[in-house]
Copies of this chain bind each other. A is one copy, B any other.
Amino acid sequence: MTAPTPDTAADSVGIVETQFLELPGPLALDCGRVLAQVRVAYETYGRLSPTRDNVILVCHALSGDAHAAGYTATPSEASTRDGFRAEERDAERGRGLGWWDGMVGPGKAFDTDQFFVVSSNLLGGCAGTTGPSSLNPSTGRPYGSDFPVITVADMVRAQRALLDELGITRLFAVAGGSLGGMQALQWAVQHADQVDAIISIASTHALQPQGVAWNAIARNAITADPDWQGGDYHGTGRAPTAGMGVARMVGHITYLSATSVRNKFGRRLQATDDIRYDLTTPEFEVESYLRHQADAFVRRFDANTYLYTSRALSYFDLARQHGSGQLARAVNDMSARTLLIAFSSDWLYPPEGSEELATALRTAGKDVEFHVIDAPYGHDCFLLEEARQTPLIRAFLER
């Protein structure tokens, strides 16, 4: 057990434990199938007000989990954040820090002295919520390839059901980055009358085609691994770790900018002054870093969850799911105040995408704020540029 160091105690929610809740009924999904039993892993920070009007739902991205803030009692890799700067900080503070601890806590962007923050592992996840590695009650074996294909709307359905169980009807705000930001947008169209504000960071109403391609490549890396076994690798003693490693490498480089890769690694060689004429051993620092990242991810993450979640975020498209195919009409259904934040160097979720959504909202007469933060760390900015997001978010929430 790693105790918080004194310097972090004041602004930390402290040691938290993930809780688990079985939804009372089945969950009907976009694909037409029904999940008979759904468990949701979640954490809460701060105190629910007597009138239950101070709830902020925080939604995580592809590789995240319910542990957004504070420390786990038992340090685990599962809650180690992925960005390299975050990594360094984790090493300082000890392991088990939540993935958005810089944003959620006393006096932080999502101020737990004021708000009751709920964070849950998304549907299809591998960190406590029902997903493809969970037991299928009708067979007694893990779902594997029999897990239904899910959408961002399905993730929101599971969150809505969780909040019902917690006795929470309205949300003061829903917030998240990347896939988490998609969930926030989905809340605004799916439960327009139940959410007052959404904060969608480094996200989009529809992934850019290049992003669709990157996600397809990452999924191909996993499904091409014979150890994937059509998705039914559980209990076989083998798992598609090699393919997952490649998928993670692809993802990782798309989360960084060319500038941040150059600044962090340059063309520095690993441990030697000159090349070693070796085909497979990492020669450059960036090669070694990628391998390390892949190995760490493979140990903590389920390959099928990666596939299902990647599929869901590629599918997500506010305009298409509206039926009209028109973004301008899709946003008409939204009534929540909206804060969009993008980062200048994020080429996976580029500012132009957020600008398009902001324009559609503005044209429809909606209350929207859009900020582009000039920062060099690529898509990872949403996890790293906490100091510059905080005043924007606090001002937006206080309005």
Contacts and interface: CB of A to CB of B under 8 A. Distances in A.
Given A208-B262, A224-B245, A226-B226, A277 B30 contact: yes
A9 interface: no
Contacts of A347: 258
A294 to B, nearest CB: 8
Nearest to A248: B217
Sorted nearest first, the 6 A-B pairs with minimum C-beta distance are: A224-B242, A31-B277, A149-B277, A216-B287, A210-B258, A217-B249
Interface string A289-315: 011001000000000000110010011
A262 B350 CA distance: 13
Contacts of A261: 208-210, 213
Interface residues of A, number: 61
B284 A253 contact: no
A188 B129 CA distance: 60
Interface of A: 30-32, 145, 148-149, 206-210, 212-214, 216-217, 219-221, 223-226, 231, 242-243, 245-246, 249-250, 253, 256, 258, 261-262, 265-267, 274-275, 277-280, 282-284, 286-287, 290-291, 294, 307-308, 311, 314-315, 317, 320, 347, 350
Given A220-B246, A279-B231, A279-B308, A208 B149 contact: no
Nearest to A214: B253
B213 A286 contact: yes
A293 to B, nearest CB: 11
Copies of this chain present in the complex amount to 2
Nearest to A287: B216
Given A213-B287, A216-B290, A224-B225, 13 more contacts: A145-B279, A148-B277, A149-B277, A206-B267, A209-B262, A213-B253, A216-B249, A217-B253, A219-B280, A221-B246, A224-B243, A258-B347, A267-B317
Nearest to A207: B267
A267 B212 contact: yes
Nearest to A294: B220
Nearest to A307: B279
Contact of A279 (B149, B279, B287, B320): B149
